Amino acid sequence: MSNIKTFKGRPALKGDASGPATVTKLGFNATATYMEVAFSGSKSGVCKDHDNNLYGVDLADTILCIPQSIGSSAAACTYMAVVEAGIAPRAMLFANPIDSVAACGLIMAYYWSDKRPIIAIDNLGPEFLDAVANGDQVEVFSDGTVKVISQ
């Protein structure tokens, strides 16, 4: 029997998406995660950040659930590169408010790329990360509603 939990956040970049959750309670460093794969012609979105529990996990086409992002301003270009390469998550869900580095990169990719953008919802609250687990099915709606369906 499925258990459905519903959360309401702020739609930073609107859209609908669904897919399996990939979850970390650590800050997400897009530069460390994607720099190697984004500019190498790689066809997978494998996390290369040795300091994150998602190291080695393919984040492509998943719903990435994080507290916030961390790292350098180079992340903006990295987000654009993974979207262009088709190896990006379907959505990024932030427990906390989205930061300026992630917002800049995600906005660039959302408006300047002709590929599927990364949907972004923030302000989901710390309880969100306690309620979602790797592999849970997640549905994201353009009004900021997020449904977590766990088995």
Two tokens, residue 9: 């956040």
Two tokens, residue 109: 């990719």
Residue 104 pLDDT greater than 80, yes or no: yes
Two tokens, residue 63: 């719903």
Which has the minimum average pLDDT: 36-40, 127-131, 139-143? 36-40
The whole-model pTM stands at 0.94
Alpha carbon of 17 to those of 67, 105, 125, 147: distances in Å? Answer: 19, 19, 20, 11
Q: What is the pLDDT of residue 44?
A: 86
> Residues 29-54: what's their mean pLDDT?
86
pLDDT-based confidence at residue 3 (cuts at 50, 70, 90): very high
Q: List the one residue out of 6, 10, 16 whose CA is nearest residue 142.
A: 16
Neighbours of 52 (CB within 10 A): 19
Q: In 61-136, where does DSSP find H-type helix?
A: 75-85, 100-112, 126-131
Q: What is the pLDDT of residue 127?
A: 97
Average pLDDT, whole number, for the chain? Answer: 93
> What is the set of domains in the chain, with CATH numbers?
3-150 (3.50.30.10)
Two tokens, residue 149: 């369906």
Q: What is the pLDDT of residue 52?
A: 93
Q: Are 139 and 24 in contact (CB under 8 A)?
A: no
Dihedrals phi, psi of 60, to nearest 5 degrees: -60, 135
Residue 39 pLDDT greater than 80, yes or no: no
